[in-house]
Amino acid sequence: MRRTLAGALVFAATAVALAFLLFPIVAIFARVPPGRLVAQLSNPVVADALVVSLKTSAIAQALVLALGTPAAFVLATRRFPGRPLVVTLTELPLVLPPAVAGIGLIAAFGRFGLLGGTLSTLGIRLGLTQAAVVLAVAFVSSPLYLRQAIATFETVDPDVVAAARTLGAGPARTFFRVVLPLARGGLAAGAALSFARGLGEFGATIMFAGSLQGVTQTLPLAIYTEFAVDFDVTLAMSALLVVVSAALLVALKVTLQWQPSRPTSRFLFATSS
């Protein structure tokens, strides 16, 4: 008797949780017919926001990959005092409220921020520019990549690396021909996660980069601004972001499936590439 009651409650909780998570997303598509949603996408506000979002996210992602990959490799393979602290600090922006990230960026790179004076003598003013969007996106999205990349590099068998070195490959060649191919799946997963997070960035961007159509107004900012103007357009942009995010999530799952899960498959993976 008690068992069945508990079972029913657990089932009910599961149903409520799933419905709660899915209902708002379904509602976005249910309120406006798909034809009109698609038609709204040709609205110049939407088109501009899409371009700004893709451009800033792509640049931020390139920076995150270029700087984050070596950083993650070092953090994954070197043991030094205070390493757990450093790793934890890199994860901090992940749990930080976006508004705090925005204040932090202004306090650091703003005109009267810590680096503001240095930057302005170089003739650089970051605030309210597209570069500020890139910084905001990179700041909030890079921890996701770093985290995943560190975890991935940690799973690369040191013996394989050692073998490559004894066989005469230099450190660079070993990294690019052995470590990177082995870590490929995990790194791609991290990149997908951080790209998705960057695409959704809102708080830090609106505070540090402002909102200007075609320059700093990303899709989330355009949704926020257009909400007061035209609800259909906000629905269309929201639907677009749901589709893009869902695609990224599926890509993420697929890449993680491809990742070698058993130690025995690692050699196959390395030699084949």
Partner 1 sequence: MRRRRLALLGAVAALAAAIAGAALATRSSSPPRLTVFAAASLTDVLPRIDARERYSFGGSNALAAQVQQGLPADVFASANVTLPDQLYAAGLVDKPVLFTANALVLITRKGNPSRLHGVYGLDRPGLKIVMGAAGVPVGDYTRRVLARLGLSDLVARSASQETDVREVLGKIVLGEADAGFVYATDARAVKGEVAVFAIPPNAQPKVNYAAAAVNGGPNEAAAEAWVKRLQGRAAQKKLRAAGFLRTGR
- Contact positions toward partner 1, by CB under 8 A? 6, 9-10, 12-13, 106, 110-112, 116, 125, 127-128, 206-213, 216-217, 224-225, 227-229, 231
> Which pair of structure tokens corresponds to residue 44?
């110049």
- Is the alpha carbon torsion for 38, 39, 45, 51 positive or negative? positive
Distance from chain centroid for Cα 93:
12
- Shortest reach from residue 52's CB to partner 1, in Å: 13
Helix, strand, coil percentages (3-state) for the chain, rounded to 5, are 80, 0, 20
Distance between the two ends of the chain, CA-based, in angstroms?
Answer: 59
C-beta of 15 vs 247, nearer to partner 1: 15
- Contacts of 170-174 with C-beta under 8 Å, sequence gap 24+, read none
C-beta of 83 vs 111, nearer to partner 1: 111
Counting Cβ atoms within 10 Å, is residue 168 exposed (0-12), middle (13-18) or buried (19+)?
A: exposed
- Shortest reach from residue 156's CB to partner 1, in Å: 35
C-beta of 87 vs 103, nearer to partner 1: 103
- Shortest reach from residue 121's CB to partner 1, in Å: 15
C-beta of 75 vs 226, nearer to partner 1: 226
- Shortest reach from residue 17's CB to partner 1, in Å: 10
